[in-house]
């Protein structure tokens, strides 16, 4: 669905976003096996060619966001952009430090799908701008987790940094925050942003009173 003018959400275990202009920027790629669904949406719903996807931005290295990256890079020819701190987990299959049950799940998924390393074309760092979106490094969930903020359309894309439930913005579960103190410090970087829409990796979009809901959440972080 079109969640805001020019931005389309493809729902899945992890949400995927298409930012559509003259070129298309894809945010995350979903689980392995999601590439056909994404390409079909581009062709049938947007009436565009897969090669119009010029950039694929990854919010963080977890498999539910990068599982179809290798195939989509091949199908589109897009450049892949990842924060430098998470790049080795994608380009070199560096083993992440996961917690509890997640460690088992990650290893199982990698074994089943035989995920391949993917070459990174653009190394992102805090403060960079890509296609009009400011890169905000937000370690805590992963070392190179990022948010993307566009001051023009006032859209904030948060990956797994934030969720939305019962009309409130919420944190990820504690077992998905291996570095909780870094996470709290990271979220403070979102203060004073003028936001109208918040798009997350696993929740519905926040399209109503986004700034006040974000401010209320940030006040509760100790």
pLDDT of 132-156, one tens digit each?
Answer: 999 999 999 999 999 999 999 999 9
The share of the chain scoring above pLDDT 90, in percent, equals 85
Q: Given a cut of 80, is residue 70 above it in pLDDT?
A: yes
With cut-offs at 50, 70 and 90, classify the pLDDT of residue 125: very high
Q: Given a cut of 60, is residue 99 above it in pLDDT?
A: no
Secondary structure of 115-145 in the HEC alphabet? CCCCCCCEEECCCCEECCEEEEECCCCCCCC
Helices (H), 77-124: 87-91, 101-113
CB crowding 79-94: b at 16 or more within 10 Å, else e: bbbbbbbbbbbbbeee
Report pLDDT for 221. 84
With cut-offs at 50, 70 and 90, classify the pLDDT of residue 107: low
pLDDT digits (tens, 9 = 90+) for 29-42: 999 999 999 999 99
With cut-offs at 50, 70 and 90, classify the pLDDT of residue 175: confident
The residue ranking higher by pLDDT, 193 or 106, is: 193
What's the mean pLDDT in 93-106? 59
Report pLDDT for 98. 55
The residue ranking higher by pLDDT, 14 or 97, is: 14
Q: Given a cut of 70, is residue 119 above it in pLDDT?
A: yes
With cut-offs at 50, 70 and 90, classify the pLDDT of residue 199: very high
Structural domains in the chain?
Answer: 2-219 (3.60.15.10)
Report pLDDT for 222. 66
CA distance 33 to 3: 24
The share of the chain scoring above pLDDT 70, in percent, equals 90
Report pLDDT for 9. 98
CB crowding 39-52: b at 16 or more within 10 Å, else e: beebeeeeebebeb
pLDDT digits (tens, 9 = 90+) for 55-68: 999 999 998 999 99
């Amino acid at each position: 669905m079109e969640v805001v003018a020019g931005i389309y959400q493809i729902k899945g275990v992890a949400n995927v976003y298409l930012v559509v202009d003259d070129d298309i920027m894809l945010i995350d790629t979903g689980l392995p096996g999601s590439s056909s669904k994404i390409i079909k949406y581009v062709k049938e719903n947007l009436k565009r060619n897969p090669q119009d996807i010029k950039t694929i931005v990854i919010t963080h290295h977890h498999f539910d966001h990068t599982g179809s990256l290798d195939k989509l890079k091949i199908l589109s020819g897009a450049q892949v952009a990842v924060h430098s701190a998470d790049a080795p987990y994608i380009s070199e299959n560096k083993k992440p430090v996961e917690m509890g049950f997640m460690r088992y799940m990650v290893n199982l998924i990698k074994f089943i799908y035989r995920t391949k390393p993917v070459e990174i074309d653009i190394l992102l760092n805090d403060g960079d701008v890509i296609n009009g979106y400011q890169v905000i490094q937000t370690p805590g969930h992963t070392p190179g987790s990022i948010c993307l903020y566009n001051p023009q359309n006032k859209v904030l894309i948060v990956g797994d940094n934030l969720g939305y439930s019962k009309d409130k913005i919420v944190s990820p579960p504690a077992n998905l925050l291996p570095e909780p103190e870094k996470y709290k410090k990271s979220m403070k970087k979102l203060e004073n942003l003028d936001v109208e829409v918040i798009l997350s990796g696993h929740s519905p979009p926040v399209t109503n009173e986004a700034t006040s809901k974000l401010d209320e959440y940030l006040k509760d972080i100790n």
